[in-house]
Amino acid sequence: MNFDNNLRALVTGGTRGLGQALVQQLRERGVTTVSLARTADVDDPLFLAADVGRDDAAGIAARARELAGGPIDILIHNASTLGPVPMPALADLHSRDLAHVFEVNTLGPARLTRALLGPMRAQGRGLILAISSDAAVHGYAGWGAYGASKAALDSLTRSLAAELEGTGVAVASVDPTEMNTKMHRDALPDVDPGTLASPSDIASRILTRVQRTPLPLRFVAEAV
């Protein structure tokens, strides 16, 4: 999909880190972009205060469309939670926390996809991009809930791609690799931030890649 000023996007988790960079760069490329986050007060006319893990997806979809002034063409599932930090081993993880991680990282995005997919199919145009993680593929101590939730998100993405073949709606997930963000500091506070990529660099790589075809089902931002 080539970005232009006829397109409208919704980026969840749009006020910090990679999400903020994606919002800014989509807007620079002319895309009307709604930024969603739980934060209440943000000085942005296209800001939508909502919780992907809790609020009704039909409501989020309707509000995003109303703010953007038309149908959403690009949906980026960027919001996610690590769960409790420091990240506990699975043996110490309360089932309630496990469920919450899945609500925010997997089920919320699945509901939001469903709520926004109809108009994309009616138009025969759309892009749904899930921000995944290396932890979806490899096992790391402490990353059990997060990794499983992202693996499930990748799996939903693969099935959705099969179901949407030939409809004009593209679907992919991306591993953004390690970035200098609050989430990274929460997860791995001892890593020197100077060794990490900047979120804006990663956002730029992701947005460049998704404009090229064919779009792979899953890609790694670093390898773009």
| CA-atom Rg of the chain in angstroms | 16
Q: Give the residue with the Cβ less far from other proteins, 37 or 131.
A: 37
Beta carbon of residue 15, minimum distance to other proteins (angstroms, whole number)? 16
- Evaluate whether 218 touches 172 at the Cβ level (below 8 Å): yes
Please, which residues have CB within 8 angstroms of residue 66's CB and are 6 or more apart in sequence? none
* Rounded Cα gap, residues 44 and 11, in angstroms: 14
Nearer to other proteins, 18 or 170 (CB): 170
Shortest distance (Å) from residue 63 CB to other proteins: 5
Determine which one of 3, 47, 146, 219 is catalytic.
146
The CB-of-78 to other proteins minimum distance in angstroms stands at 20
Query: Least Å distance between CB 60 and other proteins?
Result: 8
- Let me know how long the chain is: 224
With respect to other proteins, which residue has the nearer C-beta, 164 or 220? 164
Please report, as ranges, the residues that interact with other proteins according to CB under 8 A: 48-50, 55-59, 61-63, 65-67, 71, 115, 118-119, 121-122, 167
Q: Is residue 140 flagged as an active site residue?
A: no
- Is the CB of 54 or the CB of 212 nearer to other proteins? 54
Pick the closer one to other proteins by CB: 86 or 118: 118
Sign of CA dihedral 7, 11, 16, 17: negative
Catalytically active residues are: 146
